[in-house]
Structure 1
Amino acid sequence: MNRVSLRIRIFLAMLLLVGLASIFIALVTVKQYKRQNKEYLDTRYERKELAAQKNVNYQLENTYFPAFQFNLGNIFRERIHEIAMVHDMKMSVYNLNGNLQVNSFDPWFRVFKDRMPIQILEYLKKRDSYRESITLDTGKISQVSYSYIHDRNMNKVGILKMEYIQDNSQEEEELTSFLNRLFVVYGVMLLLAVAFAYFLSSYITRSLKSISDKIQETKLLQKNQKIDVKDSASEIASIVDAYNQMIDELEESAEKLAKSEREQAWREMAKQVAHEIKNPLTPMKLTVQSFERNFDPNAEGIRERVKDYSLMLTQQIDVMSSIATSFSDFARMPQKNIERVDMVKTIKSAIDIFYEADIDFLSEQEEIFLNVDKNQITRVINNLVKNATQAIEGVDDPKIEVKITENSKEVVLTVKDNGRGIADTDKEHIFEPKFTTKTSGMGLGLPMVKNIVETYNGEVEFNSVVGLGTEFKITFPKN
């Protein structure tokens, strides 16, 4: 499965951000536009309502009829049509009981058949006015209001109903025109944002691409080049500095690893040299001594010469024995520095230098403690993982798994790879010093591993199938 590059993800994220911001701004703008338009229409209706009320009050004050409820029909019957037409609304006049007295659209025929809704009449008893907006089937909005009609003495003599039908077609056309202009502006902004996002994402990831290429080229056993990225952001510079520091530490670790392997190789070689030298020493010494004892002592001067010869050989043999002993002492494993070691942390640290390999580390616990020599455990891990990395060379989909578990009695470490495997003819020899199936190396890694593990009364086991891989299992007793 191909992963989407960071540049593409940054580019898409910026586009998504711009797109969401544009949609959000557009929605807020439309909502604000509609709110302002509604406020304008409400204010406009309030002005029309106030003007109509003034006309009604004027008619009530200047009529020849007494300003009583029973005269409302006579007072407004002739003038209500004119007032309604001037203000472009429907008007109805009710008495205080909610019975219709006259209206502007049906003045003669059904004046006594209409009555105000009871709930509105009850509402007016608590407040002086009532207003509501009703959306009609045509989509238009009907603004309806009820208010009291007062005489000169501010006594309530009737109820005035005004109904205004809002025609929003012009406002809708203005909104459509506004949205079209807005979309054009946002379209241009989106194109500019696309271009800006592309160049910005390329600029951001250019340094990361350089870092990625360098990291892919980094190998443990070669001279690695440091990264020199100029004019980069502080975050990128921090990554570069960390990588360059890691290169220095990697080279130092590689040198230490090589030095450790060389020292171990020399120790094993010293053992073998000491053994090879010691083998002939004893028979040589016995032969010389026997020659001294059995030689004819009557020969003239021969005794002194043989004695001198024997003494010289004995001295030389002692010197060779001393040399062999010195080699053997040098070859012995150094004294263990036993301490309480977090095996999980130590193993993680050890396999970090093999980051170019696909290594999976598994642990059932975050911490597993064992009383061991930390340096020796690191050497064990280094050798096993290094062998695994060499075994998976040239293998499709190479994998290495390092796993540590524990129970009440022991800690178990396994190193598993899917490499070439070990041939059956080689399995019985892999722990022998100087035995190797590789063209390089001295064949001392696995014998050293076995030696270290056995000093802790541990066990080393392995299972290998040619073409499928190898698994090494190391068991350390907790006691």
Structure 2
Amino acid sequence: MSRLRAAQHPSLCLREAASPGVAVLSRMPPTGQATPGRRMTFLAPCLSPDELCQGTVDGIIGSFPATRPGPPHTMLRSLSLRSRLILAFFVAVVLPSGLLLWGGFVAFREVVVVTGSAGPWGQVAESGILLLEELEREDPRPNVLEQLAERHRSELSESVRFSRIYALLGERVLFLLPLAALALLLLAAAVAFWLANAFSRRISHPVESLVGWTERVGRGEPLPTPTPEEESGAPEFRKLRQALRRMEGELVEARKEAVERARMRSWTEMARRLAHDLKNPLTPMTMAARAAARARDPAASAAGSILLEEIQRLDEMARSLADFARAPEGPTSRVELGELLEGLARRMGQDPTPLEVHLPPEPVMVDGHLLVLERVVRNLVVNAQEAVLEGQMGRSVTAGVPDPVEVHLTREAGHAVIRVLDRGPGLPAGNRDRIWDPEFTTRRKGTGLGLPLVRQAVKFHGGQVTALDREGGGTEFRIQLPLATSPSTPAPETP
């Protein structure tokens, strides 16, 4: 086996070593390049004293300085797009053009040779043969000899004329034809190179641009603004750019949602701990404050009353924190939003700010938790009523009936929409997005948890809530909830 492997590589000399399982592999210099002291010897592991693994031989051969080039397909893979296009155009344009020119040159030369060797020269030979045959006869005929000689003379003059023409062609045309072929070949090569370069720029530039876009998306950087060049490019690249822009938008939204979920988890955990820490001391504090409020000393009684008010405020904050940290429990039920809003209007109708509820004629059903949804609407209505009073104070309005808070219930494209509108001072300038943060509030006695509770509860029910500036002043809160899907539920109206 070892001799066979060595025979496949004539420049190798293989022999067994003294140690078992090891072979000595020596590389001989190529023929004609023998230099003393250039023999290189390696030890290679063997499967047996007489067998050397082919992989070991090939691996050692590949480690020698005199390496063979890789296969053509690996070399092609290492070429750039521009080089591949140039090679493709060369194969498709230059080589066929060269072959056609070479074939035309050979054919023209053969035609000249063939036509030059026949025609007038053949006739001269024929007439000359006839003349000689007549002279060789025993009794030559004078008249025939004279005719043959005249014929031979005329054909000979004609052949001289043709020979001069073909000599001119042979000296000039056949000499210029290779130069013309070379010029055409160079022109075809230049055209092929120009086309390949133009096509490669047209293809490689958008590809490099798209690669840069993917790197920007990976780093979280915004993509460049659209340019007219993008719209005028190839449809395939235009679709790729549009897909990348859609992907960027989806990634931005996904990052925002991930950050929002992480913030809400941290706030929920903090709210749970704060609610627990607040509730523990509230009971003894309440008992002590009540005792102080019942004291005969007026100062102690007044201090106890103040403490009870602050303890009640802390208890309300603890309940808000507990509600914020606790998701709705239990199964959902069918809730008719019209009845919910009517009951809320009856209970809150005695407030200083009027409440107007506008309902559709047909019932609007959703799946959810009745108490949670009622708390959501109540929080928004309370905020709206306080905003109306705050707006009146800012306008120095001391008399008259305050502007009512309006609640509208409608159906829109398979969703129930509740809109709470007020004529207050409107959304805080510069802090529109912060109103949903648990730590943000613009009121002195506010806890900052009302709107975050609303948003969390609405999201739990598969909906969304947004805040807008109302036309003419004020604020509009818009709650969108999916309608209940049931045979008993009336079909939703399209707007």
TM-score by length of 2: 0.32
Which structure shows the higher strand fraction?
Answer: 1
Which structure shows the higher helix fraction?
Answer: 2
